[in-house]
Amino acid sequence: MDSNSTVVNNSYIVGGGRRKFFIVAGSSLGLIFMISMGVFVYCLCFKKRQHVSTFPVVIYEKSKQEDDVQEANRFQSDTWSIEYYHNEEWYGPFQITLSFNSQSMQVTGSGSDNVGIFTMDGVYSAVLEQINITKKYQLGTGDPIENKGHEVKLQLRWHSTNQQFEGSLLINYSGYQLQGKCRLKFHNAHEQYISF
């Protein structure tokens, strides 16, 4: 009987050791699985946040002095030159006057081109380096065929390589719309333009 009870006890001890082994191994694998799932969920949420469209994206925070210099260089109230492209042809450059209000972030202006005399009114952003402006023609000025007192919407962004604003224009003209391109550049007093 003693030998039987030892065998039973040894069997019990060996069985208990296996049981403890499986508990420790299972717990370890479960812990690794839970950590892996936590990392997976974190990465999934983090990637999702990265792909959320946030406009504008700020790469670094500019100092007030940098902003002032940038705004002074890009948004000067004075004479500018404007060119536009539609019907497969460039028109201009034409000289216009723009005034930028840094408090309200509004821009106003006036000028004339091959169509007629116009006023300009819109907004700008020094952070986005963008100008959105509407050009409204004064009916009865310039070309009587082209000038219908219509509006032209300009959406321009700073192009650092060309040192000018570039973008698109949308002409609302007698019930239909035409699209084109536009360039706006600060007029250097030393530059001279030849008009044809």
pLDDT tens digit sequence for 159-175: 999 999 999 999 987 77
Q: What does the pLDDT average to over 84-91?
A: 92
User: Is 70 exceeded by the pLDDT of residue 183?
Assistant: yes
User: Is 80 exceeded by the pLDDT of residue 9?
Assistant: no
How far apart are alpha carbons 168 and 160 in whole angstroms?
17
Q: Can you give the pLDDT at residue 172?
A: 86
Q: Can you give the pLDDT at residue 61?
A: 45
The CATH fold assigned to 66-186 is Lipocalin (2.40.128)
For residue 6, CA distances in Å to 18, 73, 127 come to 18, 95, 84
99-152 pLDDT tens trace: 999 999 999 999 999 999 999 999 999 999 999 999 999 999 999 999 999 999
Burial class (CB in 10 A: 0-12, 13-18, 19+), 42: exposed
Q: Please answer whether residues 70 and 130 qualify as being in contact, where contact means their C-beta atoms are separated by less than 8 angstroms.
A: no
Model confidence, pTM: 0.60
117-150 burial string, b = 16+ CB within 10 Å, else e? ebebebebebeebbbbbebebeeeebeeeebeeb
How far apart are alpha carbons 67 and 181 in whole angstroms?
28
Q: Can you give the pLDDT at residue 45?
A: 64
Better-predicted residue by pLDDT, 15 or 108: 108
Cα-flanking dihedrals φ and ψ of residue 100, to 5°?
A: -105, 125
The torsion of the CA quartet 59, 64, 65, 71, rounded to 10 degrees, works out to 80
